């Protein structure tokens, strides 16, 4: 799975593809808080804002595991008062893109494996992971590592695809890993409808990718768009879901 992200990073290097998540939308969503230059990212920004809603970030240390090109770290930098922002990713090209982006100058980007985090125990106040963990072969170790690097009473904010049969994953085992971790579940929410709506909105991830297609990367982009449309269909009929958890280290 990680090889796919390496291929995407190499084939679609444009820095304006800051986010790769599916986004979040609902009919009554108020997004006037988004600065005008960031309007093209509104669906993605709404997703990370919803994931972190109610979490105290003021002056806190925050780690994003699976930071990609740095979109969520951008949100932390521009829209929160987080004191320290660290993004970790396994894809070298993603890290190069994030480090070269002047809008991310206040964030630090580190190469590392989500299943073997290169940080001391009890280091971060908040850890987030968005639409990345379905790539991890050892989900239980990832959850344990997340708990290890969190401070006491620290928050873990997690959201991902769920019950997707195209992914050869043991979804029940993953749920058990969350239920029996060193963190208590504060909130669990099914946001399948909001993600479905985002994929259907103007400016969605498919439209963004299609605008970046050229002769070399067009087959790859077409394949990503087809898989996104299949995901949307699965969400529509309830075969797939998209879920989020907020958890506190005990």
Q: From first to last of its 250 residues, what are the pLDDT tens digits of the chain?
A: 567 788 999 999 998 899 999 999 999 999 999 999 999 999 999 999 999 999 999 999 999 999 999 999 999 999 999 999 999 999 999 999 999 999 999 999 999 999 999 999 999 999 999 999 999 999 999 999 999 999 999 999 999 999 999 999 999 999 999 999 999 999 999 999 999 999 999 999 999 999 999 999 999 999 999 999 999 999 999 999 999 999 999 9
pTM for this structure? 0.96
Q: What's the full length of the chain, in residues? A: 250
Specify the pLDDT at position 15. Answer: 86
Task: From 118, 227, 224, 209, select the one nearest 165 (Cα to Cα).
Answer: 227
The residue ranges of DSSP E strands in the chain, in sequence order, are 61-65, 84-89, 107-111, 124-130, 150-162, 183-190, 241-249
Specify the pLDDT at position 1. Answer: 59
Specify the pLDDT at position 151. Answer: 98
Q: Residue 61: phi, psi to the nearest 5?
A: -90, 130
Residue ranges and CATH numbers for the domains of the chain are 2-249 (3.40.50.150)
Specify the pLDDT at position 6. Answer: 87
Residue 130, H or E segment: strand 124-130
Specify the pLDDT at position 5. Answer: 81
C-alpha angle 47-189-3 in degrees, rounded to nearest 5: 55
Task: From 230, 199, 193, select the one nearest 44 (Cα to Cα).
Answer: 199
Using DSSP bridges, classify how beta strands 241-249 and 183-190 pair: parallel, antiparallel or unpaired: antiparallel
Q: Is the dihedral of CA 63, 65, 69, 72 positive or negative?
A: negative
Q: What is the DSSP letter of 113?
A: B
Taking residue 80's Cβ as centre, other Cβ atoms within 10 Å add up to: 19
Specify the pLDDT at position 2. Answer: 65
């Amino acid at each position: 799975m990680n090889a796919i992200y390496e291929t995407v990073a190499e084939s679609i290097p444009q820095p304006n593809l800051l986010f790769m998540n599916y986004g979040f939308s609902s009919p009554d969503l108020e997004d006037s808080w988004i600065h005008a230059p960031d309007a093209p990212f509104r669906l993605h920004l709404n997703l990370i804002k919803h994931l972190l809603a109610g979490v105290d970030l003021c002056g806190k240390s925050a780690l994003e595991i699976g930071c990609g090109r740095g979109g969520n770290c951008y949100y932390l930098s521009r829209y929160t008062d987080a004191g320290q922002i660290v993004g970790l990713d396994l894809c070298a090209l993603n890290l190069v893109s994030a480090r070269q982006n002047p809008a991310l100058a206040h964030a630090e980007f580190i190469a590392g494996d989500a299943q073997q985090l290169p940080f001391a125990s009890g280091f971060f106040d908040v850890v987030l992971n968005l639409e990345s963990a379905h790539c991890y072969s050892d989900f239980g170790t990832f959850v344990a590592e997340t708990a290890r690097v969190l401070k006491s009473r620290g928050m873990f904010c997690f959201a991902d695809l769920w019950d997707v049969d195209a992914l050869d994953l043991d979804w029940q085992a993953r749920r058990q890993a969350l239920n029996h971790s060193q963190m208590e579940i504060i909130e669990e929410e099914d946001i399948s409808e909001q993600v479905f709506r985002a994929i259907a909105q103007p400016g969605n991830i498919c439209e963004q990718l299609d605008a970046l297609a050229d002769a070399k990367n067009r087959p790859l982009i077409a394949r990503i768009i087809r898989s996104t449309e299949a995901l949307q269909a699965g969400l529509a009929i309830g075969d797939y879901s998209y879920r989020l958890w907020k958890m506190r280290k005990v």
